[in-house]
Structure 1
Amino acid sequence: MSRQYHSIVLVGFMGTGKSSVSRLLAERLGFARVDLDEAIERRERRTISELFAEQGEAAFREIESEVLSELMAREKRQIIATGGGAVLREENRQVMQARGWVVALTADAERIIARVHADTSRPLLKGDVRGRVTELLQTRKHAYDFADLKLDTSRLGVAEVAERIIAAWQRLTPEPADGRGPRGNH
């Protein structure tokens, strides 16, 4: 029995391009775009930084799991850009795999540091950015191994990443003869 995909789920460490790639994928495929962190902020009426500061990471991860489950239950075609830590819980990995096609975006440490060093909105990067990125990459070394597709974005532009994902998606879900296939909005 083959899996039925309603969602393309982008996972990966912060700074690997999930948000940018999700925008372009949604535009090119005609899917809805959902950013998990943005959905959490709308629901909670607070920023991710505020949630971390007021409730701590454990409470944030609980909220993150709830919102992810709600999004994954939707039957519509969507691109979901997750936060870098959404894969830390087994239940999240299971729901992503059960209901979506999971693409892991990766990048080397130097590229990630260059991309996120000035971003003050990331609560896990408070203080020594280089040290935190290195430490988190080490602890999450295998966290994205469950993905259906892995792409290293270190030396690719957003358009190149999107093109590679679309090509793989089209091989996975070929368009039926009537032209109204699984790649369109339903």
Structure 2
Amino acid sequence: MNLILVGFMGSGKTTVSTLLGEALQQPVYDLDDEVEKAACKPIPQIFADDGEASFRDLEHSALKEVVKRRQGILATGGGTPVAERNQRLLEHAQAPVILLTASPAETARRLGDGEGRPLASKLTPAELADLQDARRPAYDRCADLTIRTDKLSPTAVAKLIIAFLRIHQDQSA
């Protein structure tokens, strides 16, 4: 992996990873898509049929496979870094981990009614903010860089990450 994006749902991981993939000419992997491919069903159906624990097991297996790839940009799921076993995989992936954040109000605005997001669709804005706060320490443990995305366009976020990668690459050389 060249780069891993983490953050709460609605922080911009999927959008920014797509822009980065285009700019850096790298393949993009969305962990949620990888889970859906492995399960042969959409995430809401996995949650409904098999429960969150089953989803998290599928997510871990998909993460294990994706981080083995030499090239690419990975957008993780919002809950991926919460599990210690996933934190260990992210730590050993030998790729910078970028945390994208947004305020609870901005997150709620971006998520709307939470359609297609099993956890978001069940939570009130206050509960969503509580979940975001509860996950923050796990995100922080993984992150090499944190970018607050509230007032930035996805393109601006991608440009900041590219600048960080150049600095990171120069320091590694």
Aligned to 1:98: 92
What is the aligned partner in structure 2 of residue 166 from structure 1? 162
Unaligned runs of 5+ in 2: none
Match of 1:11 in 2: 6
Which aligned pairs between 1:1-186 and structure 2 lie closer than 5 A? 6-75=1-70, 77-99=71-93, 100-146=95-141, 147-174=143-170
> What's the secondary structure of 1:140's corresponding residue?
helix
Among the aligned pairs, what percent are the same residue?
Answer: 36
Quote how far apart the aligned CAs of 1:95 are. 1.1
State the alpha-carbon separation in 1 of the partners of residues 69 and 122 from structure 2. Answer: 38
Q: After TM superposition, what 4+ stretches of structure 1 lie above 4 angstroms from structure 2?
A: none
Deviations 1:149-179 (A, max 9, x none): 11000110001100000000011113xxxxx
Query: Partner amino acid for 1:169?
Result: L
Structure 1: give runs of 5+ residues left out of the alignment.
1-5, 175-181
TM-score of the pair, normalised by structure 2: 0.93
Q: How many residues align?
A: 171
User: Which residue of structure 2 aligns with residue 178 of structure 1?
Assistant: none
CA RMSD after TM alignment: 1.7
Q: CA deviation at 1:50?
A: 0.5
- Whether the aligned pair in 2 keeps the contact of 1:117 and 1:129 (CA below 8 Å) is no
Q: Which of the two has greater helix per residue? A: 2
Rg bigger for which structure? 1
Distance 1:14 1:128 in 2: 13
Give the 3-state SS of the residue equivalent to 2:9 in structure 1. coil
